[in-house]
Amino acid sequence: MKYVVGVDLGGTKFAVGAMDAEGTHEFAFQSQLTRAELSADHIVERIAKLVETVIAQTCAETGATRADFLGIGIGAPGPLRRADGVVVVAPNLGWHDYPLAEQLSAATRLNVILDNDANCATLGEWWIGAARGANNVVGLTIGTGIGGGLIFGGRLYHGSSDVAGEIGHTTIETAGRRCKCGNYGCLEAYASGPAIAERAREALEADGESLLHTITGGDLAAITAQHVYEAAQRGDDVAKEVVRDTARYLGAGVANMLNLFNPDVVVLAGSVTNAGELLLAPLRAEVKKRAFRPAVDAARIVPGDLGARAGVVGAVAMFLAEQRAGA
Amino acid sequence: MKYVVGVDLGGTKFAVGAMDAEGTHEFAFQSQLTRAELSADHIVERIAKLVETVIAQTCAETGATRADFLGIGIGAPGPLRRADGVVVVAPNLGWHDYPLAEQLSAATRLNVILDNDANCATLGEWWIGAARGANNVVGLTIGTGIGGGLIFGGRLYHGSSDVAGEIGHTTIETAGRRCKCGNYGCLEAYASGPAIAERAREALEADGESLLHTITGGDLAAITAQHVYEAAQRGDDVAKEVVRDTARYLGAGVANMLNLFNPDVVVLAGSVTNAGELLLAPLRAEVKKRAFRPAVDAARIVPGDLGARAGVVGAVAMFLAEQRAGA
């Protein structure tokens, strides 16, 4: 049996795990804080160390040896260049043109293949998760930002310069809220975790009475999307309206994906899944209202199965797919 | 040499032509008014008659015989089912679940393959037009409506139930103008020919002085997008603002395509190309402002080369691609 290490590198945390090449078992899932203030080389060193820990642990569990490891798949924030494994810009990490694959390969003496983190998460859900067996898949990872991944005919679609799938940065209001990307009216500017919190703060300024005051101990700057879900679940009107609006924005975004890609499955992952049906039910209703009937009928809209492991699992799947394509 | 007939069926006109299977020559391009008030069977009869005229003319020009014709590719408004050649709904034709391929095949005794009209137009531009040689292409056909086609890796992408590519029906304003599809804020509700005319009428109500009064002989109900372009070209302020807004809306739509699909080429066809650089220059500027740099750098945004022939040429290309895929 052969094994592959998967790495999911984010601005806050990185996670490492291993899987057998059949995708039947996950081993030794580990994660650490990224500490983006450290140098890129230093972060890679720490990833490499965790990779060795994961390999050792997997070998102990399975009886495999280090020679049974084919290599490392790593998902990182984009834009990036897959061909030479370079992260072009990663604002959350402060990286510019950093040769991530090369450096991690040098540190581990293993073959390293790089792809976008949201692409990997989507591929993970397709491989062994909520979109298993589907032909065409749209994946959204909704957290600090909104990432996206596209699978057509069972393969990741990357576009002409590896930028494809930036669903979070599609305009849903041409003169809308300013987004971190510099554009106005991006889906991310309305429905990411921080955007949900910001809309809640604005709503509180207009309508003072809300459980959110109690939940946050009066510190409105500390509101998170999680607080909003909690208050909504407890029946708070302000929070319920914020969730309703979130479902409306995400619903418009997902409806756009249906009319464009006509997928079998839309997988929603990241913090949004924590809200569960509270968000998913009105989101599905909004999609049904907006998208073409044959597209609505064709698509299941589901939360991811793999939770925080999707990126690691998908990085393994991506490594294997690239190796097969290259062979 | 083998030949294929291409048919482009629209709500206003249908066009028929023939090409050799190498795509080097076009023959006997003909078009007629559709007369949508007639029964579907009657329209098919008239298409079949024009197909025979085109075949006869092509044979006369080339020395071919009817036996050298492989079949007919036909592009029609969607939604449709390619597998059995059925037009599911075509509001402009008043058709529901009409077996177009079967009927046209019965009338011509030729093999008929059906696809979406905007898909065909996009494939035509990829085959021998403005997107020739590109790998990933987004096509927009902007006229009475806004149709779209997607080519990934040199092949049309259809999605899971043949609905993919409905770029005109993606939301760019969540609480925006009502669209004919029932949704609010679709790109088509802002940037189709009739939408441009409607925005011009609204602008005239707010600001009375404009060449548009003279151009239309005072009949504002008669304003078309063409009138708006003409007035803008002659320096009319109201018309110039309508064109500027159109470029902004289309720019947002095209930027969305860049961030999602990261294509090599975006082909703009239909009446929009009549406005030329007047519209294209500000459109490109808007895209540059909105989309990610690596996506902007990768993509040429160009008018189509084939004009009204794109649909017919693409229907031929589609027929040949499907035949190859089936073989």
Specify whether A286 is located in the same domain as A166.
Answer: yes
Domain CATH number, residue A8: 3.30.420.40
A298 and chain B in contact, CB less than 8 A: yes
pLDDT at A327: 65
The pLDDT-based confidence of B196 (bands split at 50, 70, 90) is: very high
Interchain contact, A160 vs B292, CB within 8 Å: no
Tell me whether strands B3-9 and B69-76 are parallel, antiparallel or unpaired.
Answer: parallel
What average pLDDT score do residues B158-170 get? 96
Query: Does B237 have pLDDT greater than 90?
Result: yes
**Whether A271 contacts A312, CB under 8 Å:** no
Q: In what order do the strands lie in the sheet with A112-116?
A: A26-33, A13-20, A3-9, A69-76, A112-116
How crowded is residue A235: how many other Cβ atoms within 10 Å of its Cβ?
Answer: 9
In chain B, helix, strand, coil percent, each to 5?
45, 25, 30
Q: pLDDT of B25-72, one tens digit each?
A: 999 999 999 999 999 999 999 999 999 999 999 999 999 999 999 999
Specify whether B151 is located in the same domain as B293.
Answer: yes
Specify whether B154 is located in the same domain as B44.
Answer: no
Q: CA nearest B306: which of B54, B70, B4, B26? A: B26
Chain A, 18-77: which have a CB under 8 Å from a chain B CB? none
**Whether B6 contacts B312, CB under 8 Å:** yes
Q: Please report, rounded to a whole number, the percentage of residues in chain B having pLDDT higher than 90.
A: 89
pLDDT at A258: 98
Q: CA nearest B90: which of B44, B136, B127? A: B44
Specify whether B68 is located in the same domain as B161.
Answer: no
Q: pLDDT of B123-161, one tens digit each?
A: 999 999 999 999 999 999 999 899 999 999 999 999 999
**Phi, psi for A165 (deg, rounded to 5):** 90, 10
Specify whether B298 is located in the same domain as B313.
Answer: no
CA-CA distance, B244 to B276, in Å (whole number)? Answer: 13
Specify whether A224 is located in the same domain as A320.
Answer: no
Q: What is the overall mean pLDDT for chain B?
A: 95
What average pLDDT score do residues A15-31 get? 97
The total number of structural domains in chain A stands at 2
Specify whether B300 is located in the same domain as B319.
Answer: no
Interchain contact, A161 vs B294, CB within 8 Å: yes
Interchain contact, B160 vs A299, CB within 8 Å: yes
**Whether A17 contacts A312, CB under 8 Å:** yes
**Whether B257 contacts B167, CB under 8 Å:** yes
pLDDT at B180: 87
**Whether B254 contacts B301, CB under 8 Å:** yes
Residue A317's domain comprises: 3-125+308-326
Query: Does A326 have pLDDT greater than 90?
Result: no
Task: Copy the structure tokens of residue A87.
Answer: 């992260």
**A86 or B205, greater pLDDT:** A86
Chain A, 219-258: which have a CB under 8 Å from a chain B CB? 248-249, 252, 255-256, 258
CA-CA distance, A263 to A214, in Å (whole number)? Answer: 42
**Whether A265 contacts A300, CB under 8 Å:** yes
CA-CA distance, B242 to B207, in Å (whole number)? Answer: 12
* Upper half-sphere CA count for residue A124 (Cβ side, 13 Å): 36
Specify whether A74 is located in the same domain as A164.
Answer: no
Specify whether B170 is located in the same domain as B32.
Answer: no
Pairs across A and B, CB distance < 8 A: 143
Specify whether B168 is located in the same domain as B261.
Answer: yes
- How many helices (DSSP H) and strands (DSSP E) are in chain B? 11, 13
Query: Does A113 have pLDDT greater than 90?
Result: yes
Query: Does A207 have pLDDT greater than 70?
Result: no
Q: pLDDT of A154-172, one tens digit each?
A: 999 999 999 999 999 999 9
pLDDT at A51: 98
CA-CA distance, B84 to A220, in Å (whole number)? Answer: 58
Specify whether B296 is located in the same domain as B316.
Answer: no
Query: Does A27 have pLDDT greater than 80?
Result: yes
How crowded is residue A206: how many other Cβ atoms within 10 Å of its Cβ?
Answer: 7
CA-CA distance, B155 to A155, in Å (whole number)? Answer: 14
Alpha carbon of B28: minimum distance to chain A alpha carbons (Å): 34
Interchain contact, A260 vs B150, CB within 8 Å: yes
Q: In what order do the strands lie in the sheet with A155-156?
A: A155-156, A146-152, A137-142, A265-270, A300-303
Specify whether A261 is located in the same domain as A153.
Answer: yes
**Radius of gyration of the CA atoms of chain B, in A:** 20
Interchain contact, B162 vs A294, CB within 8 Å: yes
Q: pLDDT of A287-309, one tens digit each?
A: 999 999 999 999 999 999 999 99
pLDDT at B273: 75
Query: Does B208 have pLDDT greater than 80?
Result: no
Query: Is cis: bond before B294, omega within 30 of 0?
Result: no
Searching chain A, which residue's CA lies closest to the CA of residue B177? A173
